[in-house]
Amino acid sequence: MSSMLHIVNKSPFDRNALDSCLRLAGSGSAILLIEDGVYAAVAKAAQADKITGRMGDCSFYALGPDIAARGLSDISLIDGIQVVDYEGFVDLVAEHGATQSWL
Amino acid sequence: MEDFDDDGPEIIKRFMYVNRRAPYGTIYALECLEVVLVAAAFDQDVSVVFVDDGVCQLKKNQDTTEIGMKNFSRTYGALDDYDVEKIYVEKESLEARGLTVDDLVIPVEVVAAAQLQVIMAQQDVVISS
């Protein structure tokens, strides 16, 4: 069974989508932050430890175009989060099993 | 021709616009900015507040070319042209998101929640988005 791809598009400050995702994503999952979900990638943000706590057993990605749109390109992101472009997004979907979008 | 401007006593109310949403995930931020710019033409006492994810609206260096949406962050600079000078950002919200006043696209007054409570309570009309 191939590992899952979880996609989070809500701000972690506004909704609990990231919390639910981190609670239910199994070891080896890939977690992709898109749209307002990219606010979770900011290193100095208050809930950054939620992601760093799962860095050991999950891989984290954030969508570059959404980071740039929100002005976060000039800000430090959490170490270990890989920034991907739209092609990278497609690759992640292709490489993993089921995709869960945490709307 | 009647001149409406000089008819009757001028009533000025205090209007506060409270922004709580991030800029591109929903339409709230852009809609609220447009409402503020329209309302500013009516010579009222206008304050604009950014709390929660609303502070993200003011982040510098937004570049929306790759997401196909209008970058309206520069439009906040027009608030000053419309004489909207009371622009408040809640300190707690800014800090929680790892941002500082240097990250913002326009000059603002950073206020703590306790201070913002007082300013909010002084308003005649509060419009939230």
Q: Set out the domains of chain A in order of their start, with CATH numbers.
A: 4-102 (3.40.1260.10)
| Domain CATH for B118 | 3.40.1260.10
Beta strands in A1-103 (DSSP E): 5-8, 30-33, 59-63, 82-84, 99-101
Residue B52 domain-assigned (yes or no): yes
Interior angle at CA A14, CA B16 and CA A66, nearest 5: 100
- Inter-chain touch B66–A64, beta carbons under 8 Å: yes
- Hey, what amino acid is at A17? A
- Hey, what amino acid is at B67? I
A72: chain B residues, CB-CB within 8 Å: 59
User: With an 8 Å Cβ cutoff, is B95 touching chain A?
Assistant: yes
Dihedral pair phi/psi, residue B48, rounded to 5°: -120, 130
Tens-digit pLDDT profile for residues A35-88? 999 999 999 999 899 999 999 999 999 999 999 999 999 999 999 999 999 999
Q: Residues 49 to 88 of B: which have CB under 8 A from any A CB? A: 52-53, 56, 59-67, 69, 71, 73
- Inter-chain touch A69–B67, beta carbons under 8 Å: yes
What range does the domain containing B100 cover? 14-128
- pLDDT by residue for chain B (129 residues), tens digit each? 555 556 667 788 999 999 999 999 999 999 999 999 998 888 889 999 999 999 999 999 999 999 999 999 999 999 999 999 999 999 999 999 999 999 999 999 999 999 999 999 999 999 999
ipTM of this complex prediction, to 2 decimal places: 0.91
Residue of B nearest to A64 (CA): B66
